[in-house]
Structure 1
Amino acid sequence: MCMPCRFEKRSVTQLYQADIAVIGAGTGGAVCALAAARCGLKTVLAEQTGVIGGVAATALMGSWANLLINTEMKMTTGGIILEILERMVSYGATPYKTLQEAIKGTIGKPFTIPFQPVWYTHTLTEMLREAGVTILLNTTFTEGSELPDGRKHLQLVFGTQKEEIQAKVVVDATGNAVVAESLGAKVVSVEMGTETYGCLMRIANVDIDQTLQYIRMCRPWEPDTAFTEWLSKKAANYSERNRRRLTHLDDPITYDHAPMEHVDNKLLTPERFAYIEERYQKEGVIYTMELCLLRHLIREAVDKGDFILDYRTNELCGVTFNGDGIAYGGWGDKIALCNVAKPYGYNPAILEEQTQAILEAKNYNIMFFRFLQKYVPGFENSYLLDMAEQAVARGSRMIVGCDDAEMFTQNPLYAQPIYTFGGIYKHQLGVPVPYGKIVSRNKSNLFAVGKCSSHGMQYRSQISCMSMGVAAAAAAQLICSRNSTSHTLCTEEFAQQLQQMEVVI
């Protein structure tokens, strides 16, 4: 019989010696730690919450934008990333029966791959433990410094218990570059006024067939002069930016669940709606139904005071609806995933503003649920299953990287592609993402992956975060084995390492 482990409460600081320390166990951080450990590096992964998986775990962001293949159906990445997906498929965490079906679909490329967040967390945790990663949960980073030999010294706390990590390489996967800044890296904030957040919720006991029948009957893709006039009057009271948000209701689009040939070919048509229904019949998934499909019901609810299109707390900040709308089928029987509440204007780097964004987002979600229950066919007998713990900022602070033309000229290493950000629509081409995006410009052996990489908000999909994590681990392996630095790696050797790890194909 296995006896439970007992750890005595310590009165002294615990010091962890490592080759690489990863702070933040979201998608990018967890995969970075996994890849590093598999490269033979002594790896410590610290996370301030009690779960691994980042926004998928704390914000219910249970889907991957399918950037595994490009618009020509060719693979753009592989290795650990595919292994994670394959394991989730085997656990029944996705609607798909095989890995190939998850990637390529049954009637065309799935633009998103839905999954159960709890199984994503389990899969990452399981693989990290198999690889021998030292995991520290509920541990908050407090301060960093550099030792005389160039290694990094990190201080963390677990309640009143102090922890320290010393490592040759540090990866900031916190989403807001707090570790990088503490270590002296140059850090900048996203442009004020552009901050937006996401806050998802799941609704159970939904009869989506009734909802589809209603949409088919009211044909929202057809022009409606009366609705256009009504919306124009409502939008007159809003700022130009918020007016652009509202016009989405009068412009039904396909978002990412039906084929789009080119950038000007995004409007919903009867043929595209038929494609959505066919995919639902064959794969059991709808991603997504935008709110514009329910615009007549929204108008009725607004006129009766049951829904607010744009709830403002002041001139700059408020909550409006996100374009993603309602997804269905990937998160359990009769369960809808709603990505609607979209706080804007709140600075995620300021405690009070971020707190208000979270509170207002949850309030907006409750209002939206009540609207669905009262007005939308198929939701009459539904109930609110759960809601994200966090309203997650799409961008906050980021490192100043080595990703501009001047830096590329100084050192070709910075221009080395670490993965390809694949196109979603047929008119889009894949974009090679350079190594310079994850490297601190003024500090050696310091990386940032995910949203806090240089302009990482542009590439914030979960597969992108994973790819950044693998690339940082590949660089760390060479730094430790060649006694090199993040700025002096051999470009050819680094490129070979990326190919061996299949993050670049």
Structure 2
Amino acid sequence: MDYQADVVVAGAGSAGMVAAIAAARNGARTILIERGGFLGGISTAVLDTMYAFYAPGDAQEKVVSGLPDEVVDRIEKYDVVLRRPNTFGSGTGITYNPETLKRVWDDLAEEAGVKILLHSFITGAVTEGSKVTGIRFVNKAGSHKVTAKAVIDASGDADLVADAGGDFELAGRDGAQQTLSTTFRIGNVGERALGVKKDELHALMREANKSGRFVLPREEGSVHRTPDKGIMATIMTRVPGTAPDDIEGISRAEAQGRAQAQEYFRFLKEMVPGYENSVLIGTSPWIGVRETRRILGDYQLNGEDVLAARRFEDGIARCGAPIEDHHAGRDTRWAYIPNSGTYTIPFRALLPRNLDGILVAGRCLSSTHDAHASARSIGTCMAMGQAAGSAAALAADKGITPRQVPTDTLLALLDRQGADLGRRGKAASDAA
């Protein structure tokens, strides 16, 4: 079966969801294609906390707003939301129940009029020369395609850009690659667990490894409280990265992540106060991937841009998150923006440099390894999604490509939608 749309979005993660909702709200007939049976991607399958809504530091400045705020507001209408201040020094984390967020994504997409196609695996891009005009996909009903006036690649792995012949860097091949993590949730946790400080937990991890009774690849990480009493959630495991199309490698990683989750749970149960009577509720349905393909766009965001708190004339989202590099060692490398500064992500970083008709949103933006380690968090990905969806709707309406959308028009639209574009306050550095 063939479909037609004004805008088609690949991937229903946090970036893709906001992109699809934004496009539909701006008048575009929008189709969203997702491999899973639910919406939200990492935000509902792997994590329970949104980071990068706030910049680190004592002030905890809020830097993401607009449509992403509506998502948080909706969660709060259904359930409790915890705001955990300055978690790991990376700014306030917004912790929620993933099952509630699944419902919120469903509601917002339906209300906006987005056509959702779940259980559908993307097989490639439809192209006319260097212009991307649609998406090919397969599901139980057979092989299909969607043709559209504008295409958004929110796959996380830049699958469409790669298939269409777009330029990209592949983490692990073209430099370092961040590791993968399987998350898990624990129930029946005692009150004493809430009193265990981060440094105490890490010291116990080191002690566990030295004892020879445990094998813990990562001697830090987090276990945190959730809105539900007696339930804790983790980001602890560390699995080597793999290419997105290495199916044997990702299959091994899934098994390795689950095995590590069992080992870390055993460590918590046997060595950490409050976990003596705990039970393992479950592991994430798929492993959390931080970094694979990063497109090469009209501009490549770099680590200097981040640490210099650079603001761009075409900045479509603001971020204050530190560079958080989950390398292959037992710790995590952090680099903070001086003076709690923030930078903006240029619209050009969402535009593949040698393709037309398509833009990206989320962690496959055009960035170096270091910059990516700051810009990949959920809050920033949602802000990029709002920009990408709005730009795609403008392009479809005017009969132009996303690259041809006037920057002033896009920024004015985002401003009306309440997005934080970093125009207020003095920037440490400005760039054209």
- Structures share fold, TM-score greater than 0.5: yes
Inter-CA distance 82–103: structure 2 relative to 1 (3 Å threshold): farther
Distance 2:72 2:202 in 1: 36
CA offsets 1:387-424 (integer angstroms, 9 cap, x no match)? 1112222100121111149xxxxxxxx85000110257
Distance 2:139 2:202 in 1: 49
Among residues 135, 159, 177, which one is paired with 2:116 in the alignment? 135
1:390 and 2:286 are equivalent in the alignment? yes
Among residues 29, 45, 70, which one is paired with 1:58 in the alignment? 45
Distance 2:321 2:255 in 1: 34
Inter-CA distance 21–73: structure 2 relative to 1 (3 Å threshold): same
Among residues 3, 22, 39, which one is paired with 2:9 in the alignment? 22
How do 1:43-442 residues align onto structure 2 when only pairs under 5 Å count?
A: 43-59=30-46, 61-68=47-54, 71=57, 72=59, 74-95=61-82, 102=83, 111-147=92-128, 152-192=133-173, 193-209=176-192, 212=195, 215=196, 289-290=197-198, 292-295=199-202, 297-309=204-216, 320-321=217-218, 323-328=220-225, 330-404=226-300, 416-423=314-321, 427-442=339-354
Question: How far is 1:372 from its partner?
Answer: 1.4
Equivalent position SS for 1:302:
helix
Question: How far is 1:74 from its partner?
Answer: 4.8
Distance 2:380 2:248 in 1: 30
Letter in 1 for 2:178: E
Distance 2:181 2:397 in 1: 41
CA offsets 1:226-248 (integer angstroms, 9 cap, x no match)? xxxxxxxxxxxxxxxxxxxxxxx
CA offsets 1:178-224 (integer angstroms, 9 cap, x no match)? 11122232222014452301211111111132562xx5xxxxxxxxx
Q: Which residue of 1 aligns with 2:329?
A: none
Distance 2:102 2:420 in 1: 25
- Check whether the contact 2:64–2:379 (CA below 8 A) recurs between aligned residues: no
Question: How far is 1:130 from its partner?
Answer: 0.8
Among residues 371, 390, 405, which one is paired with 1:489 in the alignment? 405
Distance 1:440 1:434 in 2: 13
1:448 and 2:356 are equivalent in the alignment? no
Letter in 1 for 2:215: I
Q: Which moved more, 1:299-308 or 1:196-205?
A: 299-308
- Check whether the contact 2:15–2:361 (CA below 8 A) recurs between aligned residues: yes
- TM-score when normalising by structure 2: 0.83
Distance 1:121 1:472 in 2: 22
Question: How far is 1:380 from its partner?
Answer: 0.8
Question: How far is 1:332 from its partner?
Answer: 1.2
Letter in 2 for 1:165: V
Equivalent position SS for 2:274:
coil
Letter in 2 for 1:55: I
Distance 1:143 1:448 in 2: 15
Inter-CA distance 324–137: structure 2 relative to 1 (3 Å threshold): same
- Check whether the contact 1:348–1:393 (CA below 8 A) recurs between aligned residues: no
Inter-CA distance 357–331: structure 2 relative to 1 (3 Å threshold): farther
CA offsets 1:428-480 (integer angstroms, 9 cap, x no match)? 20111111111111111211111111124531111111111110112112212
Q: Which residue of 2 aligns with 1:9?
A: none
What are the ranges of 5 or more consecutive residues in structure 1 without an aligned counterpart? 1-13, 96-101, 216-288, 310-319, 406-413
Percent of pairs with identical residues? 26
- Check whether the contact 1:66–1:103 (CA below 8 A) recurs between aligned residues: no
- Check whether the contact 1:77–1:503 (CA below 8 A) recurs between aligned residues: yes
Distance 1:210 1:57 in 2: 25
Q: Which structure would you say has the larger Rg? A: 1
**RMSD, aligned α-carbons:** 2.8
Question: How far is 1:75 from its partner?
Answer: 4.1
Distance 1:373 1:163 in 2: 48
Question: How far is 1:29 from its partner?
Answer: 0.3
Q: Which residue of 2 aligns with 1:39?
A: 26
- Check whether the contact 1:172–1:179 (CA below 8 A) recurs between aligned residues: yes
Inter-CA distance 483–172: structure 2 relative to 1 (3 Å threshold): same
Distance 1:137 1:151 in 2: 22
Distance 2:294 2:84 in 1: 31
Inter-CA distance 73–194: structure 2 relative to 1 (3 Å threshold): closer
Distance 1:322 1:56 in 2: 25
Distance 1:187 1:302 in 2: 39
Residues paired across the two proteins, number: 390
Equivalent position SS for 1:393:
coil
Q: Which residue of 2 aligns with 1:221?
A: none
Equivalent position SS for 1:478:
helix
Question: How far is 1:348 from its partner?
Answer: 4.0
Question: How far is 1:58 from its partner?
Answer: 1.8
Letter in 2 for 1:302: N
Q: Which residue of 2 aligns with 1:7?
A: none
- 4+ residue runs over 6 A deviation: none
Letter in 1 for 2:376: R
Question: How far is 1:103 from its partner?
Answer: 9.4
Distance 2:268 2:117 in 1: 41
Letter in 2 for 1:338: T
What are the ranges of 5 or more consecutive residues in structure 2 without an aligned counterpart? 302-311, 323-335, 422-432
Equivalent position SS for 1:452:
coil
Letter in 1 for 2:147: Q
Question: How far is 1:143 from its partner?
Answer: 2.2
Letter in 2 for 1:154: I
